[in-house]
């Protein structure tokens, strides 16, 4: 027997419609690259999103076609988010910090038809002029500026929406229709497109506002530091209108002083960003004892692990709690958060701070499992290693434009490439990327753990652990160390750092000193490059 309930497709347009009808009082504040502030409301955002959709239809944009943005967190970008998906086209956010050939690849792969670009990025547009895809028929500039000469029309955003109707006559789409597209950053190989649906986007935002996730309320004032080109700013452009929260959009000015000024002036209660942002903010706060938060906000961190001293520094020094989250482009991105459970509800703050290094537990809507090298689920004993796999309503089932990919298992899970332990409470801790873990005689050694330990040595500036070929054990860890200028530590003193801290069989067979280590565009150790350079290395003895 079927239930007797109404059925409405889960559409992105329904979110803004709700905010415009029921949350007039929320404030949407946007700062552009010059620092000037624009204030609006959800009804105004909705009206402009409708004008934009009508303007794009006039330019010939059809359902399913991709519309690119190269833009910061601003009000126009928010209007484009909702207008493009609302009309049935596909919002394709592009990271302006990628290399030119990566952007060219992504624009061509997506076959974008219109591209929105922030006025502050016009020099980038000039640089991209010779690689724009043939599918592109219009460029629209957000703000004022001199656009480079292009063979296709270049419009201004204000002109595109001026005179258009603000009627919010959003089409009723199939909820499985594509709503937006993001590419993985891909440190090896070409970026891969993840194509979100209206249904996955709405469900993901509903999960995002749950108490143990972002816990958003109508009275919150939310400042997404995470860019709107980084996995849909972790759902905040949808989650905020869903609950009627206010938003503060900081534009490209993300230095600690500018951010802190916005937090204070707009009474921000919640913010989300990557560890580098929060680490820089903490350093800036500590530089002057007069720097405080009048109303300490709640912070969420993800993207890489946040060192516990930073979490502790915010909590103990400023009364600012930080929630540790894990996610990835392929999962929209929210996968887990480290919020308390009944089992650790009574732990002291110090105990829980130490625990907050872990990435947490899944929320309803995603499921996690970790398999060892033989394909068996690992024990939840905080010790066994396995590769994390994920399944759920907002998890990709395939990549855009690719028929198959080994990331997707025959039984419907997605391999994350993250190696984890799981403890008795079901909390995961990422110990490495699968491609970087050292596979020594069937056992796995975490390269990240070894690197973190040796960084405590007073003479070590930078360290990387990569596998070296071993005739018996297959792989053994090789430690590459950059010494601090003016120091000359012995190899034995370096290896002594490990004593008593890890199992004996984990300890390096070899240590080599190097002048520098290669880094990727995002400042992470470029292990693929290192492994190539050291491929012929022979272990001593």
Q: Which chain residues interact with ligand AMP by CB under 6 A?
A: 184-185, 231, 302-305, 324-329, 333, 359, 416-418, 430, 433
Minimal distance, residue 338 CB to ligand AMP, in Å: 9
Reported in sequence order, the residue ranges of 6-137 that DSSP labels E, i.e. its strands, are 28-31, 37-40, 66-70, 90-93, 114-118
Exposed e or buried b per residue across 471-487, where buried means at least 16 C-beta atoms within 10 angstroms of its C-beta: eebebbbbbbbebeeee
The alpha carbon of residue 144 and the mean position of all alpha carbons in its chain are separated, in whole angstroms, by 29
Q: Report the residue number, 164 or 432, with the smaller CB distance to ligand AMP.
A: 432
253, 439, 491, 531: which one is catalytic?
Answer: 439
Nearer to ligand AMP, 142 or 464 (CB): 464
The least CB distance from residue 428 to ligand AMP, in Å, is 9
- Which member of 74, 75, 93, 184 is catalytic? 184
Alpha helices in 111-187, H assignment, sequence order: 122-128, 157-161
Instruction: Dig out the tokens for 74 from the structure.
Output: 């601003």
Distance of CA 8 to CAs 63, 180, 299, Å? 19, 20, 34
For the question of residue 439 being annotated catalytic, the response is yes
Q: Looking at beta carbons only, is 184 or 421 nearer to ligand AMP?
A: 184
Least distance in Å: CB of 259 to ligand AMP? 20
Q: Compare residues 10 and 438 and give the one whose CB is closer to ligand AMP.
A: 438
Among the listed residues 260, 289, 231, the one whose alpha carbon sits nearest the alpha carbon of residue 81: 231
Tally the residues of the chain.
Answer: 541
Kindly state the smallest distance separating residue 491's Cβ from ligand AMP, in Å.
Answer: 30
Radius of gyration of the chain (CA): 24
- Integer Cα distance of 531 and 539 in angstroms: 14
Nearest approach, Cβ of residue 305 and ligand AMP (Å):
4
Per the DSSP assignment, residues forming a β-bridge with 325 are 337
Nearer to ligand AMP (CB atom), residue 226 or residue 240: 226
Residues 100 and 122: their CA atoms lie apart, in Å, by: 14
Q: Which is nearer to ligand AMP, 329 or 421 (CB)?
A: 329
Active site residue 532: no
Strands 443-445 and 438-440: antiparallel
Minimum distance of ligand AMP from residue 432's CB (angstroms): 9
Contact 278, 296 (CB under 8 A): no
**Structure token pair of residue 526:** 């470029």
Query: Is the Cβ of residue 266 or residue 418 nearer to ligand AMP in the bound state?
Result: 418
Task: Tell me whether residue 389 is exposed, middle or buried, using C-beta atoms within 10 angstroms of its C-beta: 0 to 12, 13 to 18, 19 or more.
Answer: buried
DSSP for residue 485 = T
Q: Is 330 an active-site residue?
A: yes
The least distance separating ligand AMP from the CB of residue 417, rounded to whole angstroms, comes to 6
Q: Under DSSP, is residue 331 helix (H, G, I), strand (E, B) or coil? A: helix
Q: Which of 164, 330, 389, 451 is catalytic?
A: 330
In whole angstroms, give the CA distance from residue 338 to residue 358: 7
CB of 429 to ligand AMP, least distance (A): 9
Which residue, 302 or 386, is less far from ligand AMP as judged by CB? Answer: 302
Q: Which residue lies nearer to ligand AMP by CB, 161 or 420?
A: 420
Residue 115 CB, nearest approach to ligand AMP (Å): 22
The span from the CA of 506 to the CA of 429, in Å, is: 19
The candidate with the shortest Cα–Cα distance to 501, out of 449, 537, 541, is 449
How far apart are the C-alpha atoms of 182 and 200, rounded to whole Å?
14
CA distance 380 to 423: 5
Residues contacting 163, CB < 8 A, separation 6+: none
Could you give the residue numbers annotated as active site?
Answer: 184, 330, 439, 444
């Amino acid at each position: 027997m079927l239930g007797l309930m109404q059925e409405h497709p889960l559409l992105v347009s329904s979110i803004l419609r709700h905010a415009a009808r029921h949350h007039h009082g929320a404030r949407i504040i946007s700062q552009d690259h010059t620092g000037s502030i624009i204030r609006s409301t959800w009804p105004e955002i909705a009206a402009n999103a409708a004008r934009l959709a009508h303007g794009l239809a006039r330019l010939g944009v059809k359902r399913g076609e991709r519309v690119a943005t190269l833009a910061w967190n601003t009000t126009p970008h928010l209007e484009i988010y909702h207008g493009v998906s609302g009309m049935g086209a596909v919002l394709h956010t592009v990271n302006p910090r990628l290399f030119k050939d990566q952007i060219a690849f992504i624009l061509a792969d997506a076959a974008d038809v219109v591209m929105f670009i922030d006025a502050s990025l016009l020099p980038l547009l000039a640089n991209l002029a010779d690689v724009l895809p043939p599918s592109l028929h219009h460029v629209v500039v957000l703000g004022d500026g001199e656009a480079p000469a292009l063979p296709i029309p270049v419009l201004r955003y204000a002109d595109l929406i001026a005179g258009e109707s603000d009627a919010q006559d959003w089409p009723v789409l199939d909820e499985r229709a594509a709503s937006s597209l993001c590419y993985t950053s891909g440190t090896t190989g070409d970026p891969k497109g993840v194509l979100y649906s209206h249904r996955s986007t709405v469900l993901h935002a509903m999960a995002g506002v749950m108490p143990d996730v972002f816990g958003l309320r109508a009275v919150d004032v939310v400042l997404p530091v995470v860019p709107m080109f980084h996995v849909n700013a972790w759902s905040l452009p949808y989650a905020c209108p869903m609950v009627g929260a206010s938003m503060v959009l900081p534009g490209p000015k993300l230095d600690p002083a500018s951010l802190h000024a916005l937090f204070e002036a707009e009474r921000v209660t919640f913010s989300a960003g990557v560890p580098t942002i929060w680490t820089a903010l903490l350093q800036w706060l500590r530089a002057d004892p007069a720097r405080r938060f009048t109303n300490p906000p709640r912070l969420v961190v993800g993207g890489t692990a946040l060192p516990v001293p930073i979490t502790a520094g915010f909590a103990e020094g400023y009364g600012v709690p930080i929630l540790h989250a894990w996610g990835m482009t392929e999962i929209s991105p929210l996968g887990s958060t480290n919020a308390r459970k009944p089992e650790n509800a009574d732990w002291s703050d110090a105990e829980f701070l130490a625990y907050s290094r872990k990435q947490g537990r899944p929320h309803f809507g995603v499921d996690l499992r970790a398999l060892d090298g033989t394909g068996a689920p690992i024990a939840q004993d905080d010790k066994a290693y396995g590769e994390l796999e994920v399944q759920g309503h907002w998890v990709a089932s395939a990549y855009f434009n690719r028929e198959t990919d080994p990331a997707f298992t025959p039984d419907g899970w997605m391999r994350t490439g993250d190696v984890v332990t799981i403890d008795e409470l079901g909390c995961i801790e990422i110990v490495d990327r699968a491609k970087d873990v050292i596979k020594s005689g069937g056992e796995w050694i975490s390269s990240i753990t070894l690197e973190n330990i040796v960084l405590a040595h007073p003479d070590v500036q930078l360290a990387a652990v990569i596998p070296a070929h071993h005739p018996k054990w297959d792989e053994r860890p090789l430690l590459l160390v950059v010494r601090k200028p003016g120091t000359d530590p012995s190899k034995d003193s370096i290896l002594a750092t490990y004593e008593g801290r890890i199992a004996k069989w984990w300890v390096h067979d070899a240590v080599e000193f190097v002048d520098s280590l290669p880094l990727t565009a995002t400042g992470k150790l470029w292990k693929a490059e290192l492994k190539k350079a050291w491929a012929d290395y022979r272990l001593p003895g």
